[in-house]
Structure 1
Amino acid sequence: MNMNQSRSATEPHGHSMQSAKKATVARHQGARLNYERYLAQARTQALIGNQIEAENFYQHAEHYFRSFNQNENSRKLIA
């Protein structure tokens, strides 16, 4: 930040609410993509009969599903 710039009281550390929304959207999209990727891998492993690997991928998918839902709730609070 140079001498001609000032921070607003509503923008802690120089970050705006808009940048917070963008960061939340990015986390939301990343979690959703990872969820879909792990779910697809789990289904593939289940189809070929590898139940142990399928369960591993399902557990990873569940983690990202929870992250996805948590981020969805955060987005609703910010909006």
Structure 2
Amino acid sequence: MHYSPSSLVLALLCLAILAAALFAVLASIIAGLLAHWDGVSLPTALLRAGMAFGGTFTLLTALLTLIASALL
């Protein structure tokens, strides 16, 4: 089966976004656990985990956008 370059680029971009989301989830789990082990309440630990997810995912998608615009 022959894939056009546009479908290959789209597939690679989807995989990169999925990898960024998984990395952001891992970062948020670690941040939440570290915050909870530090002695903060569970809602505060979840808030810190959410901030870590949002910050990590935003940074990685901005980096992917920069790379994609430079390559295309």
TM-score class, shorter-chain normalisation, is 0.5 to 0.7
Q: Which runs of 5+ in 2 are unaligned?
A: 55-72
Equivalent residue letter for 1:30: A
Aligned match of 1:21 = 11
The structure in which a higher percent of residues are helix is 2
Whichever residue aligns with residue 28 of structure 1, its letter is: L
Structure 1 residue aligned with 2:36: 46
Contact 1:46 1:54 in 2 (8 A): yes
Q: Secondary structure at the match of 2:39?
A: coil
After alignment, is 38-47 or 48-57 more displaced?
A: 48-57
**1:35 to 1:60, Cα distance in 2 relative to 1, 3 A:** farther
Answer with 1 or 2: which has the greater Rg.
1
Offset at residue 53 of structure 1 (A): 3.2
Pair 1:57 & 2:48 matched: yes
The number of residues matched between the two structures is: 50
CA RMSD of aligned residues (A): 2.6
**5+ long unaligned stretches in structure 1:** 1-14, 64-79
Cα separation, 1, equivalents of 2:20 and 2:53:
14
Give runs of ≥4 in structure 1 deviating > 2 Å.
57-63
